[in-house]
Amino acid sequence: MRVNDLTSTYVRVALDHPLPTLFDYRCDPASAPKPGMLVSVPFGKRHVVGLVMEVTAHSDVAVDRLKSVDVVCTACPPLPENWLQLAQFAADYYQRGIGEVALPALPQALRDASRWARLFAPEERYRLLSAGHAALPDALPARASALRRLAQALAQSDSLSAVDARALHPKASATLDAWQAKGWVALDVIDPAAPRPAQGDTHPNPQESAQESAQESAQESAQATPLPTLTDEQAAAVDAIRDAQGFAPFLLHGVTGSGKTEVYLRVLAGLLAANPHAQALVLVPEINLTPQFEAAFRARFASMDDTAIVTLHSGLAEGERAHNWFAAHTGRARIVLGTRLAVLASLPHLSIIVVDEEHDPAYKQQEGLRYSARDLAIWRAKQLGVPVVLGSATPSLESWWQVDQGRYGRLTLSRRAVADAALPTVRLVDLEDERRRGRASVEGLSGLLIAALKTRLERGEQSLVFLNRRGYAPQLACDACGWVAGCPRCSAYVVLHKPERALRCHHCGWESRIPRSCPECGNVDIAPLGRGTQRVEEALAGAVPGARVLRIDADSTRRKGSAQALFSDVHAGEVDILVGTQMIAKGHDFRRVSLVGVLNADTALFSHDFRASERLFAQLMQVSGRAGRAGLPGEVLVQTRYPTHALYHALARHDYVGFANSTLAERRDAHLPPFVYQAMLRAEGRTLDAALAFLQQAAALLTEIPAASRVTVYDAVPLTIVKVMHVHRAQLLVESASRAALQATLRAWQPALRTLKGVLRWSIEVDPLDI
Ligand code: ADP
Ligand code: ZN
Ligand code: ZN
């Protein structure tokens, strides 16, 4: 044997495996990895990628049972200690194994050892030099369009990767070699792991560099648009964040259109200029909002090189995501803009975190590790001793309560930033009254709303119609016998989708053709019940003749990039009426929308979920906030059968504070979050009885756990949609006024739960949002 056991080194490795333990491997002491490094190891019959947590001189596992590490990924610098602590915290808090947290947090490409070599290979980038600027494109033959495209691409960006160049022109390599020989372009070979050079010395050749930067700054000043003068409230917010020392959580409560983005931009500009290494993390709730933000950030930070701003979200191709993640990890990226998953990025010089629209439920991951990106952002800021800014027009009650307690600083933007832009007027359209007066409505669109839409069309202004239900109709039913089309796999009705002429289950994806007649009684008069976005789109086209109607929802934007194209059409003024789901409600800065119509909001008023009204209020405030952003007087029409409801009255007064305070008082009286801490045990079984029986046994186990004496256990109940894909689902809620008691209980409960049988799956969710 080559290695003497006494001098062996062992590593303890986290693997993506449900057992919350580390796995020991042997390794050659000469090439032992460091903690935080990735390794490929044998596991059962496979080879998997793991993360080294510890390097030790001994292992409790018998030496002859230990296998050896296959490969150490030396090209990737180790994940820093503070990142490993973050993963450990998330694992403990959300009751998972460290490996189940740490590995899924890494880009998929990094978790495949066979891709390491290519991932970390040096990147070749071509850069246009001044001589090239002068000579191209005149030097090119008139008809050489591919060559012209290549020249154009070089001129329009700081540098062009060899891969992108080949995509533009099949013989790009030869051409670029020739151009390089003429002194038109330079080739930079960039080690992906190399730290980013300090600003100003990105050009290897000093002579070239002086020329180029003179040219660059001339270009910059020509392009620079003057910064808007901050409003007093914006200036006060920027100062407060800038002056903060150490961990400083802020709630930036700014009405819609108050210019929260400008506050983020100014704060980041100051911070990044003051510290040449500082990194900023900016979270947005939806992928669809990243392009708008990215454009604003790139425009503002145009003097930083292109690679200094990266995005991280699930819509990126795997290679790109790994590339961007790596740029963050090596410190090359200064600004990381992303959705919730970006909160788990490795950022060695993280100096500030922004969570825009912090109230948004999309910050909660709904599968696997069910974490709250907002909560982890706050934990990270505290760990690092840096500021964190939570922005929203309708803060979550959790955050609002923290402000009340004096734990977060409050920054208020009470007015819209654009001069003359006021908050819109909100009118409640009483549907019952409309009916009594015999006013005509078309397919659920009230006469008042139709008239308002026509006025906007005549004035050349845009309107937005919001309803939170996609498809054509939520049900297809037979009047004669009462049959309603249901999903054979779920306890749910199927939704009629007209363009595809299909019935589709929104829970499992099951699809079928629309039957010609009732399968129960043969009646041919089967009819759609209720309305979704497709039906409203159709109705609008008829009710407002001449209007260009565009629908944006999960169906119309299924293809990659199509949401962006549709939103661009709206911004370009090629749409008169935009109809859609919550996708159109959030964050977008529509400049020409002056009317918002809200359909079918009432259903959420009477939900059994105690968070439904908070969510509805936030959604309606957000969608209302799309109207009148750029000075056109805005109007919001909310169609309702409950025009006296307190929620609508608060909405009409734009009274978030009143709504939040009264809702918090109700929560306190009813002992609901944020006044108690909750966790949910969910079970999935072949039958509902099996799932319920599991949960009852689970509840019985709690009597053995001392900490559980401070925990309230509710009855096991079926989920609202009890069956999905033939699997029956039930849940058990546990809660406590003490977070520590709840955490201790969950920790002690898990090993006991693992011994129970009878269900297909179970999981614990901490701080569940959907009850
Ligand atoms: P919010 O995120 O608060 O809803 P935005 O950041 O989208 O608002 O800003 C709304 C609009 O106001 C944007 O078009 C932005 O360019 C503009 N804006 C922001 N700050 C100012 C300012 N100080 N002066 C003029 N316009 C501003
Ligand atoms: Zn029938
Ligand atoms: Zn189904």
256 pocket-lining for ligand 1 (C-beta < 6 Å): yes
Residue 510 within a domain = no
Q: How far is CA 687 from CA 506, 695, 761, in A?
A: 21, 13, 12
Q: What is the pLDDT of residues 347-357, one digit of tens each?
A: 999 999 999 99
Question: In this prediction, what percent of the chain has a pLDDT beyond 90?
Answer: 75
295 and 397 part of one domain: yes
Whether 348 and 393 map to the same domain: the answer is yes
CATH number, position 321: 3.40.50.300
Q: Which ligand is located closest to the Cα atom of residue 232?
A: 1
Residue 317 lies inside a defined structural domain of this protein? yes
Structure tokens at 159: 């540098």
Q: What is the CATH number of the domain that holds 104?
A: 3.40.1440.60
d(C-alpha 546, C-alpha 542), whole Å: 9
**679 pLDDT above the threshold of 50:** yes
Distance CA 482, CA 106 (A): 51
Going from the C-alpha of 224 to that of each of 215, 227, 309, 601, 656, the distances in angstroms are 14, 9, 18, 44, 37
For ligand 1, whether the C-beta of 259 sits within 6 Å is: yes
Residue 2 lies in a domain: no
Measured in Å, residue 628 CA sits from the centre of ligand 1 at 12
132 pLDDT band, cuts 50/70/90, is confident
Ligand 1 site, residue 418, Cβ cutoff 6 A: yes
Q: What is the pLDDT of residues 18-36, one digit of tens each?
A: 888 999 999 988 888 999 9
Is 441 near ligand 1, meaning CB less than 6 Å away?
Answer: no
CA torsion, points 296, 298, 302, 306, in degrees to nearest 10?
A: 180
Total domains in the chain come to: 5
| Domain housing 200 | 123-223
461/610 same-domain check? yes
What is the band of 153 on the pLDDT scale with cuts at 50, 70, 90? confident
Q: Whose CA is nearest to atom 14 of ligand 1?
A: 589
73 is in an annotated binding site: no
Indicate if 575 and 445 belong to the same structural domain.
yes
CA distance 181 to 183: 5
Give yes or no for a contact between 163 and 126, defined as CB atoms under 8 angstroms apart: no
Contacts for 534 with CB less than 8 Å, ≥ 6 apart: 470, 471, 472, 497, 498, 499, 551, 555
Q: Kindly indicate the confidence band of residue 138, based on its pLDDT and cuts at 50, 70 and 90.
A: confident
In a domain, 524, yes or no: no
**Per-residue model confidence as pLDDT tens digits over 54-103:** 999 888 888 888 999 999 999 899 999 999 999 999 999 999 999 999 99
Asked whether residue 651 falls in the same domain as residue 701, the answer is no
**Is residue 259 located within the same domain as residue 384?**
yes
250 and 358 co-located in one domain: yes
The three-state (H, E, C) secondary structure of 565-609, written as one string = HHHHHHHCCCCCEEEECHHHCCCCCCCCEEEEEECCCHHHHHCCC
Same domain? For 310 and 459 the reply is: no
Span 197-206, average pLDDT: 41
CB 457 within 8 A of CB 546: yes
Tokens describing residue 178: 């020739």
546 backbone dihedrals φ, ψ, rounded to 5°:
90, -10
| 417 CA to centre of ligand 1 in angstroms | 5
